[in-house]
Structure 1
Amino acid sequence: MSRQLSSVAQRAPREWRGSSHNVDYSCLHQLAPYIGKLKPVIARELLGQFTSSGDIVLDCFSGSGTIPLEAVMLGRRTLAFDTNPYAITLTRAKLEAPPTLEAANEQLAQRLLDSQRRPRCDQRTIPLWVRKFFHPKTLQNAVRFADECIEKDDPFLLACLLSILHHQRPGFLSYPSSHLVPYLRDRKFPRVEYPEMYTERELAPRLAAKLARTYKHGAKVNRSKVLQIAQVGVADLKLDFEVDAIVTSPPYMNALDYVRDNRLRMWFLDRSTVDYSPEPTERQMQSDAITAAFASNALRYLRKGGHCVLVVGETVLRKRVKTHPAERMLARLTAEYPKLRVEHVIRDKIPDVRRSRRTEGATKRELVLVLKKG
């Protein structure tokens, strides 16, 4: 970390280390897995400290929708954008959830009925790497349900489906596999010894159980606070007004594989998804282009005196490449806006394996850069 940042850095509050499962709307926050998602308690603390009630808060890398959901809960108005279709599906699902469990179950019943009326798909057109996760009948029903949700523009039930796609537990749809990142666990659970784990898994009862878990503590969202959610990259962002604050977590350069790690869920959203594809932030030049677009485009919508709060990796060591994304990003932003002032730097340790690799790669610490536009 550079002298400029280390001289003003402070440790993250102790409460950031606690569990997020007891906060309000925790079940909505846990709607579906997402690699590298921000803890709700961190988003809430940052929004509470650097924004005010009624403020318009922009998150142009919304990911799983943690920041937009917390912003609405705190009485802010929110704008959420991302290029990843899974990210936007999750963000919309959380902010457009039906107000009650009864309403959600009615919606589910209709979607299930309509999906069964859809023509059967030719499973020979489905890639082998997708087919190997599911019993053929389970896959047939899941694909038709996904297509029905996509056609009816129902991100909430679509996200519920994606959340139970793969795991070894009985409440999920796949053969035994890992939960966050899809890998078959057929060596640990051989078909000969565990034949019950390779039978057809019915869709309806598992989706109903998912809804019951989601609404366990209530899930009513004030939709009037949601100004816009769209699958838009930061370079193409266009607004007709200024925002009071930008609170976001840009993708860390060379740190996480958002498409690969979500590839099975991504395939249900976009059938052109392949088993592996490179990330746009895998190379320094591409990562710098995203930062440059943020500097030249997103920051121009921030009002004078407004805060820009960025959650960025401190140091990334992966694939034999060591980078310092926080320093590099700050240098580019201040070059574009010389009057952009660093107000606070908060340093936080990341013990969660979902945000860093077991091999000690990726990033183990992140910095929260709090900037003010002069």
Structure 2
Amino acid sequence: MKRSDLEAAIDDFQAELPYTSGPYASRAWGHKLHSLCSYQGKFKPAMAHWLVKSFSPEGGRVLDPLGGVGTVPFEAALLGRRAITNDKSPLAATVGAAKMTPPTIDRALEQISRLEKQMLTVDLSAEEIAEAEFGLNASVSAYYHPETLLEVLKARKIFLTEGVQDDAFMWASLLHVLHGNRPYALSRTSHPITPFNPTGEYLYKSLIERLQNRVTSALAVPLPPEFLEGEAHHGDFRELPDKIADPVDAIITSPPFIGMRFDRPNWLRMWFCGWSASDFHTKSLEFLERQQTKSTAVYSEFFSTCTQVLAPGGVMAVHIGSGGRGDLVGDLRTLGKAHLDFVGESVENVEKVANHGLKDKGLTKHHHMLFFQRA
């Protein structure tokens, strides 16, 4: 993209903020698979849609190096781009991979049938059962009927032994139903995003049955003919130059807002992915949201890495919030300029945005989009 064209596209984007009007303004807008394992701080699908549409070429390669649950890459895939997602979190990486390669309903049900047979052969040790006594508000065992808990533990053992492999959608769907406040959930009544202390009766709920219902419902909405299967990676963003074969045309990403943590609000799903109590104190320190609280200098590495995988003339769009402590927006603008050309910025006032029952907006008053270009 020529710089003059990029400048014009930024001006148009700021003037219209197209994701804030018409049907795009609804938080329910978007393909049903966007709701798979939603969590706090997730990129708004409509914003992702318009960023991809406005700042990446048709058929181009689009990367989110901090992909989270894959909102930007999935929207890119829906728009016929060749999408790449990456995340260090095993939870986010699993969900992102699921959105890159959704199976047919028949294929998903075959995978669940195989899981059901495997669970019949799983023996749990006393230590593995005791792992359900972990919890950050209530213990894991407090969320489930004893028989359901055993099924969760057996499925977890299989997941940790075999990994995601080609079954990412099945595992992401299981992570989705681990807790919630509707009949689809395996848990007692909790919250679908953050596993608040559960209430209600201990009722047996079949893991296989709930999983079958979930994938059948989620995959009932067809993908558009433009959809292209994407590429998913699990790991640190610094590893991407060794993983991505060809340069990308656009990087669209959203670093964690100051004060945001993705491990603790998702602790039950992270536990299923293998995290123990110590990981929330030690392993979490390896994540960007913890590192940036000490120094934003880590973003110099981030921009350096992104520059290595971005094609000449490629665009990098960085979404970040302001209004709380620190000046992450200013720091990113400055650090990014050391590696890329800073072309422009758009700003949205979000002070009146609803919090949907969670204190997930913090002190954020404005959303900024910083636009860079590789020379």
TM-score normalized by the length of structure 2? 0.83
Count of paired positions? 346
Paired position in structure 2 for 1:171: 184
Which amino acid letter does the alignment assign opposite residue 131 of structure 1?
Answer: S
Going from structure 1 to structure 2, the CA distance change for 1:11 and 1:313 (only over 3 Å counts) comes to: farther
TM-aligned CA deviation for residue 94 of structure 1: 1.2
Query: Where does 1:116-195 land on structure 2 (aligned, <5 Å)?
Result: 116-122=120-126, 123-129=129-135, 130-150=140-160, 151=162, 153=165, 154-186=167-199, 189=200
Paired position in structure 2 for 1:336: 339
Corresponding residue SS for 1:309: strand
TM-aligned CA deviation for residue 361 of structure 1: 2.7
Residue by residue over 1:122-180, the C-alpha shift from the partner in whole angstroms, topping out at 9 and shown as x without a partner, is 31243342222222211110121233345162221111111111123332111222221
Contact 1:175 1:198 in 2 (8 A): yes
Residue by residue over 1:323-356, the C-alpha shift from the partner in whole angstroms, topping out at 9 and shown as x without a partner, is 222111011111334xx13234242527242697
Query: Where does 1:224-373 land on structure 2 (aligned, <5 Å)?
Result: 225-226=229-230, 228-238=231-241, 239-254=244-259, 256-273=260-277, 276-277=280-281, 280=287, 281-282=289-290, 284=292, 286=294, 288-315=296-323, 317=324, 322-337=325-340, 340-349=341-350, 351-353=353-355, 357=359, 361-373=362-374
TM-aligned CA deviation for residue 66 of structure 1: 0.8
Residue by residue over 1:99-126, the C-alpha shift from the partner in whole angstroms, topping out at 9 and shown as x without a partner, is x222222221121121222113431243
1:95 & 1:182 partners in 2: Cα distance?
26
TM-aligned CA deviation for residue 274 of structure 1: 5.1
Of the three residues 54, 60, 77, the one matched with 2:65 is: 60
1:327 & 1:37 partners in 2: Cα distance?
22
Going from structure 1 to structure 2, the CA distance change for 1:261 and 1:135 (only over 3 Å counts) comes to: same
Going from structure 1 to structure 2, the CA distance change for 1:291 and 1:356 (only over 3 Å counts) comes to: farther
1:47 & 1:297 partners in 2: Cα distance?
21
1:178 & 1:275 partners in 2: Cα distance?
23
Which amino acid letter does the alignment assign opposite residue 173 of structure 2?
Answer: C
Identity among equivalent pairs (%) = 27
Residue by residue over 1:2-48, the C-alpha shift from the partner in whole angstroms, topping out at 9 and shown as x without a partner, is xxxxxx7656233286225353xx22111222221112111111111
2:64 & 2:371 partners in 1: Cα distance?
14
Q: Which has the higher helix share?
A: 2
1:240 & 1:218 partners in 2: Cα distance?
30
Paired position in structure 2 for 1:38: 43
Residue by residue over 1:66-95, the C-alpha shift from the partner in whole angstroms, topping out at 9 and shown as x without a partner, is 111111111111221111111100000111
Corresponding residue SS for 1:258: coil
Contact 2:29 2:45 in 1 (8 A): no
Query: Where does 1:19-30 land on structure 2 (aligned, <5 Å)?
Result: 19-23=26-30, 26-30=31-35
Which amino acid letter does the alignment assign opposite residue 133 of structure 1?
Answer: Y
Contact 2:134 2:277 in 1 (8 A): no
Going from structure 1 to structure 2, the CA distance change for 1:285 and 1:166 (only over 3 Å counts) comes to: closer
Contact 2:80 2:227 in 1 (8 A): no
Which amino acid letter does the alignment assign opposite residue 329 of structure 2?
Answer: A
2:297 & 2:357 partners in 1: Cα distance?
23
Contact 1:244 1:307 in 2 (8 A): yes
Contact 1:355 1:363 in 2 (8 A): no
1:347 & 1:300 partners in 2: Cα distance?
30
Paired position in structure 2 for 1:5: none
Going from structure 1 to structure 2, the CA distance change for 1:265 and 1:362 (only over 3 Å counts) comes to: farther
1:220 & 1:105 partners in 2: Cα distance?
22
CA RMSD of aligned residues (A): 2.8
Q: Which runs of 5+ in 1 are unaligned?
A: 1-7, 190-196
Corresponding residue SS for 2:154: helix
Contact 1:253 1:287 in 2 (8 A): no
2:302 & 2:59 partners in 1: Cα distance?
24
Residue by residue over 1:157-209, the C-alpha shift from the partner in whole angstroms, topping out at 9 and shown as x without a partner, is 111111111123332111222221111143xx4xxxxxxx2122211221121
Paired position in structure 2 for 1:4: none
Going from structure 1 to structure 2, the CA distance change for 1:241 and 1:143 (only over 3 Å counts) comes to: same
Which amino acid letter does the alignment assign opposite residue 229 of structure 1?
Answer: A
TM-aligned CA deviation for residue 221 of structure 1: 8.6
1:344 & 1:201 partners in 2: Cα distance?
49
Q: Which runs of 5+ in 2 are unaligned?
A: 1-10
Corresponding residue SS for 2:263: helix
Which amino acid letter does the alignment assign opposite residue 15 of structure 1?
Answer: S
